[in-house]
Amino acid sequence: MSKKPLGWDGKTLNVILEESEKLFKETGYYYGITKLTLKEEDPFRFERNYASLRGALVSARETALHVAASPIVKEIGELCFALYTPEGDSIVVSTGILVHVHTMSEAVKFMIRQDYEDDPGINIGDIFLNNDPACGNVHTTDVQTLIPIFWNEELVGWAGGVTHQIDTGGITPGHDLVPAMQRFDDGVYYTCRKIGSNDRIWKDHLISAKRSVRTPMYWELDEKCRLAGDLMIRDAVLEFIKKEGIDYYKRFIREAIEEGRRVFLERIKERLIPGRYRAAAFMDMPQKNEAWQPRARLDKISNQPLEIIIKEDGKMSLSFEGASGPGPNCMNAEKGAMEGGQWVLLTQILIYADKVNDGAYFAVEKNYPLGSWCNPGDIYLSYQAPWGNLIPAYTGMMKCLSYGLFSRGYREEVVSGYSFTGDAIQGGGVYSDGPLIGQRWSLSTFEISGQGLGASAVRDGLNWGYAMWNPESDLGDVETWELFQGGVPYLSRRIKPNLSGHGKFRGGANYEGVALVAYSKEVDFFGAREGMVFHGAGGMHGGYPNATGYRLYAKNTNLEEIIRNREDYPLGDPDPSNGEFERLLRADITRKPYCSIYPITLENYDLIYYFMSGGPGYGDPLERKIEQIKQDLDDGFYTENIVNNVYGVVAKFNDKEREWIIDEKATENRRKEIKNERIEKSMTFEEFWEKERKKITENKLNDPVRLMYTESLNLSKMWSKFFKEFWKLPEDFQIEVK
């Protein structure tokens, strides 16, 4: 290479990256830093400097999202910023959708390993764009802007920002596209592309990018938002160096990451008991009767077994050994997505204080087995919605860590699981009337960030207020969502009963909604969520998982007539056995027992029903306090028959007082009756084991389960050995594929 190397001390970025990896491998300390000298010499200066950088990133985020940004970014802050070392390790992060902090780290490392320093070159004022999951991203819908930071011709860091787009031009309008099964369905791909110089985005890039998506205005706003934030971060770093000196800065960024690693180890030692923790989780992909593509017509269940080992020195390892295979569906996950999911949960449950950076990444060993859904090793698969696999899979991590927290006595920190952030209305269409006639709209309502959280060991789960990927989740305002999904106004939003997982402490409650198709044509609609299996590993110490999803919509309705005559229309589906849709509409009504569907075409006056998810429960429901059940009934979280059947509570509604009255004597008897039923129906573990084993030996598993286990057995020798030992099967045992 003839050019002067960009890195410190006359080294190329590639050499710096290799050195950093070697030092960590050899010493076990980040960058070989055994002593935090700056922190020890002057802790106040060190902390003040860290706080000033963090403040700069938070303010960059707050400012950028108000300068420019699409409604989704502005409304619920679906963006985040981070500052990286020259070789791509995150030093400090903003608030926001923290799932992305390590993802951009992998993008920087990709550019370094591909020798971007030589070609296409990395210069002061250059702008790079990435949304390729094979370079550390989650899915094409998340778009990252990265800029290098220079001091005296040396590259001293990178600023990165990421936003989630409403549409990236995939096989159907919207985001998290269910019908995507290969890379070419995922929308426009930017694989760490240079898109600007001298702090300006190139015109030819913007022209091409805006033609590659269905919502060009939002794309452009978000590109400007990310760049604005990055430039503010660059200014803050240059100010820092002016004030503290470049030598201090170079040492400071290394120590900050090493301290992040140490904080994580200390927290593990303080909060968890060493040992092996395991959890099982699953997700259904019902495509046999849904898929367009012949190869995708397959019902699958994903196997998501998780093992976490906590060592006495605070080290943690995490392995998905035994995970089933990838497939012709949108839910395949690359390592970047897996890192992101793990990271965002760890920041909530273990590293929520002080130094949040890639130190935690260096403190955890991971195994995402090659060839499984969490590391397929094939860039031509679809990675449009890895969330479909990783969200349920990481309920296992939440549960494993919760067992550790419980054992140490941190009962209030226990989280029995969380629910899937799905079943928002998805798709898009074209305005056929009004001021925006002819323009396209896409659905990307981030109501999905208002799901039910699992109960802890001391209290009920949070209602309609949790998303695993955004610790600052907010379900947003209907009016904002209607702004950019104008073709689908909302008719209702109200509490839906019986969603919360049962328990001594119940999971978070949630609501349902009915949306109308209006003023539009060419409307594609789809959705995704668990339906045929419970969500992940939810429920703990006797608590139940939350209710599963299902699909309901009405086509060819008489709604126009209903509106004209001012008659009642459906506002929800509180009791599917006596549905409001069926009672109040003349229409073709479809109900499906699963939730993930391929796009259907809808016309004006068609109705779509959806509901957000409740959270899983904790502990035995028979131990739930009677006053709490009365409150659940008064709030509409549970219905009378459910509290009778599950909680053993006998209640009657008092019409005059408009409240529920509990019959305490009858309740006492009912609870005794349930306990006796349990004794009668219960079996020993050996009986249960024998019963379940027969399903395997007599080949009585259903097709998706058989396929799932076959994939896991073939992919992992270790898991196969464990499976056969547990079920006492011969070594050469194979599941017969029908």
Let me know: does 345 contact 398? Beta carbons within 8 Å: yes
Of residues 537, 120, 513, 85, the one with CA closest to residue 308: 537
Torsion of the alpha carbons at 476, 481, 483 and 489, rounded to the nearest 10 = -130
SS3 401: helix
* Residue number with CB closer to Mn ion (14 or 442): 442
Shortest separation between residue 348's beta carbon and Mn ion, angstroms: 18
Rounded alpha-carbon distances, angstroms, from residue 389 to 26, 105, 132, 235, 549: 35, 22, 18, 39, 16
Nearest-angstrom CA–CA distance, 399 and 416? 6
In angstroms, what is the minimal distance from the CB of 70 to Mn ion? 13
Q: Whole-angstrom Cα distance, residue 279 to residue 451?
A: 22
Kindly give the pairing relationship between strand 490-496 and strand 510-516.
Answer: antiparallel
CB-nearer residue toward Mn ion: 316 or 385: 385
Helix (H, G, I), strand (E, B) or coil at 430: strand
Q: What element of type H or E holds 521?
A: strand 520-527
Helix (H) or strand (E) holding 651: strand 651-654
Q: How far is the CB of 162 from Mn ion (least distance, A)?
A: 8
Length of the chain: 738
CB 457 within 8 A of CB 414: yes
Give the nearer residue to Mn ion in terms of CB position, either 176 or 299.
176
Residues 482, 497 contacting (CB under 8 angstroms): no
> For Mn ion, which is the closer residue by CB, 164 or 670?
164
Q: Which CB, 361 or 387, lies closer to Mn ion?
A: 387
Query: Contact positions toward Mn ion, by CB under 5 A?
Result: 141-142, 164
For the CB of residue 457, give the shortest distance to Mn ion in the complex, in Å: 32
Distance CA 399, CA 408 (A): 14
Q: What is the CA angle 451-389-381, rounded to 5?
A: 135
Residue (161 or 286) nearer to Mn ion, CB: 161
102 versus 164: smaller Cβ distance to Mn ion = 164
Nearer to Mn ion, 174 or 359 (CB): 174
Distance of CA 23 to the CA centre of its chain: 33
Q: How far is the CB of 139 from Mn ion (least distance, A)?
A: 6
CA dist 232 and 94 (Å) reads 12
Please identify, using beta-carbon distances, which residue of 142 and 154 lies nearer to Mn ion: 142
In this complex, which beta carbon is closest to Mn ion, that of residue 444 or of residue 604? 444
Minimum Å gap between C-beta 180 and Mn ion is: 14
Q: How far is the CB of 333 from Mn ion (least distance, A)?
A: 13
Contact 397, 341 (CB under 8 A): no
For residue 570, whether the previous peptide bond is cis, meaning omega lies within 30 degrees of 0, is: no
Is residue 494 within 8 A of residue 571, CB to CB? The reply is yes
465 SS3 class = coil
Nearest-CB residue for Mn ion: 164
DSSP letter assigned to residue 368: -
Q: Which of 11, 19, 74, 191 is nearest to 479 (CA)?
A: 74
Q: Which of 567, 570, 590 is nearest to 580 (CA)?
A: 570
Q: Which is nearer to Mn ion, 164 or 271 (CB)?
A: 164
Nearer to Mn ion, 141 or 720 (CB): 141
Least Cβ distance, residue 104 to Mn ion (angstroms): 13
Pairing label, strands 510-516, 193-197: unpaired
Report the C-alpha gap between 243 and 246 in whole angstroms: 9
Q: How far apart are CA 629 and CA 651, in angstroms?
A: 9
Least Å distance, CB 562 to Mn ion, is 37
Least distance between Mn ion and beta carbon 76 (Å): 12
Shortest CB 336 distance to Mn ion, Å: 12
Nearer to Mn ion, 142 or 284 (CB): 142
What's the CA gap between 288 and 297, in Å, rounded? 4
